[in-house]
Amino acid sequence: MAKEYSAKDIQVLEGLEPVRKRPGMYIGGVDSRGYHHLLWEIVDNCVDEIINGHGTKIHVVLHSKNFISVEDDGRGIPVDMHPKLKIPALEVILTTLHAGGKFDQGSYEHSGGLHGVGSSVVNALSSELNVRIKKGPKYYLQEFSKGKPLGKMHKAKAEGKSTGTYIEFKPDSTIFKDLSFDSETIRKRLLIITYLHKGLRIIFEDKLSGKKYDYQHDEGIKDYITTLLAQESKRAILTDTYYFEGKDSGVRIEAALQWTESTEFKLMCYANGIDTYMGGTHENGLKNSLYKAIKNYISVHDLLPKGLTVINDDIREGVVAIISVYLGNPQFQGQTKERLNNPEIALIVENQLRPAFEQFLHQNKVIAENLVNRIFLSAKARAASRAAAQDVTRKSVTNSRLNLPGKLADCTSKKPADCELFIVEGDSAGGSAKMGRDRKTQAILPLRGKVLNCEQATFKKVQENKELMDLVQALGCGYGSTFNIKGLRYHKICLLMDADSDGHHIATLLLTFFYRYLPDLIRMNYVYLCTPPLYRVKISKDSYWALDEEERKAILAKHNPNGKKKVEITRFKGLGEMNPDVLKLTTLDRNNRRLQSVHVENDLHTGEVVTTLMGKEVEGRYNFIIEKADQVSVLDL
């Protein structure tokens, strides 16, 4: 008989209980990214103070792997009594969802936090959070645990007339398990913030390593472009990075542009200092500005060669650009703010940036000619590539099917949203995967050995590499300047490698190729890492699957605590050792598998890591190994 469903079954979560019950709704997840998101919420509040003219400095201290503090010299969180709730505003802000001073523009002209949930979410998900507010000759202090005050706000004497907010907190280990703060992740995020806000000074102290960093960039995003070019060894076309700053309808716009000899288009978008890595309307405004300004310049001076067509991709090829906007009421997609949705921003950016850049071209004809010639070369290369592709298609197509690589075992569905491509290491594993897959929606592409390291290879060598070109052919979306997302045949691209060092290396080589030549597939959340088990633990008649040694021990501790049951442990040397049924159950079946989504948290950090670990310079890898050596517990040789 079905259980009766009545009013007593309806649960009402009060205060900050919803946050603790469903943290993923507020910080995106309880993984390392969500863990660090707590820190970004507090730092972003400090930045909001400073970009609105209240303060100049932020001080971040990593006291231990799980305990951190953030201090600014802003106005300090209000401490007077809230007129409606009759408790200090400090307590209201930290214990109430949707409570803050950013819902209108009276206190903050520009702000990244608009929902009034940032500080309260951090408080809810911290086992310990302490606040100290400086208001002239007095400190106001209060302590919290798991979102609840441990006592009332109290006062203490202070020296001087300065103001500011100090918050220290420890994320709750019952929610985040064995996670901890990563010093390098924090350092690079804080560095980027100083690029985005000219003159802002951020000091970061890492008590664990004893290192201290002091960042300030008076040239702002223009310095950022220079750093990116140096890290990725890209040669600039313009003699100096083009920089624009303007304001319209209450929106402040900053843009920096440089053309390089690379085929990659790299655009980083920020709104009120928030990294909107999925782009949005400010991205559209910049793209439209470039296209219209350059097309108009070419038309006015009658420069277009006969028979040549220039499209948007030709103009963008090789561009490294940053667009940063500040607006009063940004509409972000999600609490993690990955995309800006304000429809009016595209036109505001275009109306400001397009005429300014067009005027720059007219006033700097030598620079403009070099730039236009570079665009014409790109257009000619694209036309030649298209002609070659059409010629191959004309010669090879005998029916309506796509010209796909012969070793691809394709799926029968033609709906990309339903289809998955598994890139598999070797023919042996490919055979097991083909037999264990769902033929309707899962395609298998086996690779032979380790693919080309495209970070060290020339563009020509990448084009000549059969394994990589077979992959591009299977995907159907092109790459580099010929990339077109509409041609993508699979909306899940899964790297399925052995759970050993060789498998990790092959996955890294493939991720390097995706990041350099197909970055939008990563940014649009189409790329995943499969996590096949390393162990099968059979206890009596039941089988369990462990990804690593730690999980194997946990399974034994949970299901055989007394050690009295019969245990049989199998370690898989490779995917080829798994029979199709096991591979299907553990790695291919949507109901049982564990996929890891690949994402780029920030381009500066990711680009630097890829260049250091996969590039030609040995010194960077050597230094990385020396710095990280003490963190290695198991070395697979």
Residue 106 pLDDT grade (very low, low, confident, very high; cuts 50, 70, 90):
very low
283 pLDDT more than 80: yes
**Euclidean distance between CA atoms 76 and 72, whole angstroms:** 8
CA dist., res. 48 & res. 449, Å (int): 50
Query: With 50 as the cut, is the pLDDT of residue 623 above it?
Result: yes
Q: The tokens of 318 are what? A: 């090789």
The better pLDDT of the pair 454, 397 is held by 454
Q: Is 634 exposed, middle or buried (0-12, 13-18, 19+ CB in 10 A)?
A: exposed
pLDDT at 629 (0 to 100): 61
Q: What domains, with CATH codes, occur in the chain?
A: 17-215 (3.30.565.10), 221-385 (3.30.230.10)
pLDDT at residue 389, as a whole number: 46
C-alpha to C-alpha distance for 381 and 121, rounded to whole angstroms: 51
Positive or negative torsion for Cα 229, 230, 235, 237: positive
Which one of 14-18, 31-35, 401-405, 482-486 scores highest in mean pLDDT?
Answer: 31-35
Q: What element of type H or E holds 275? A: strand 274-275
In angstroms, what CA-CA distances link 622 with 75, 145, 319, 614?
Answer: 45, 43, 31, 12
Q: Which of 450, 512, 516, 458 is nearest to 483 (CA)?
A: 516
User: Looking at the predicted structure, is the pLDDT value of residue 386 above 90?
Assistant: no
Confidence of residue 488 (pLDDT cuts 50, 70, 90): very high
Q: Retrieve residue 270's tokens.
A: 């920020």
Sheet holding 242-248, edge to edge: 242-248, 251-259, 319-326, 266-271, 274-275
Q: Are strands 138-145 and 201-206 parallel, antiparallel or unpaired?
A: unpaired
48 classed as catalytic: no
Q: What is the DSSP letter of 88?
A: B
pLDDT tens for each residue of 111-132: 444 333 578 899 999 999 999 9
For residue 394, what pLDDT is reported? 41
Beta-carbon neighbour count of residue 606 at 10 Å? Answer: 17
Whether 502 sits among the annotated catalytic residues: the reply is: yes
Average pLDDT, the chain: 84
Can you tell me the distance from the alpha carbon of 315 to that of 374, in angstroms, rounded to the nearest whole number?
9
Most confidently modeled of 331-345, 556-570, 572-586?
A: 556-570
**DSSP 8-class letter at 585:** I
Dihedral sign, Cα of residue 596, residue 602, residue 603, residue 604: negative
Q: Are 274 and 339 in contact (CB under 8 A)?
A: no
Q: Any idea how long the chain is?
A: 637
- 48, 313, 420, 498: the active-site residue: 498
Residue 80: name the closest of 101, 66, 97, 108 by CA.
101
The one catalytic residue in 502, 520, 551, 601 is 502
- Maximum CA extent, the chain: 86
pLDDT at residue 398 greater than cutoff 60: no
Query: What is the DSSP secondary-structure string of 435-461?
Result: HHS-TTTEEEEEE-SSPP-TTTS-HHH
Which residue in 41, 72, 338, 425 is the catalytic one?
425
- Edge-first strand order for the sheet with 567-571 is 542-546, 535-539, 567-571
Least confident of 152-161, 311-320, 569-578: 569-578
Please identify which of the residues 261, 427, 500, 617 carries the catalytic annotation: 500
- For residue range 465-483, list pLDDT tens digits in order: 888 999 999 999 988 767 8
| Cα torsion through 630, 66, 26, 116, rounded to 10 | -130
pLDDT of residue 13: 41
Q: Which residue has the tokens 């594993």?
A: 429
Strands (DSSP E) contained in 37-125 are 57-64, 67-72
Q: Where is mean pLDDT largest: 102-106, 111-115, 622-626?
A: 622-626
Catalytic residue check, 302? no
Asked if 479 contacts 493 with a C-beta cutoff of 8 angstroms, the reply is no
- List the structure tokens of 459: 């563009």
**Predicted confidence band at 462 (pLDDT cuts at 50, 70, 90)?**
confident
- Residue 8 reports pLDDT greater than 60: no
3-state secondary structure 105-142: CCCCCCCCCCCCCHHHHHHHCEEEEEEEEEECCEEEEE
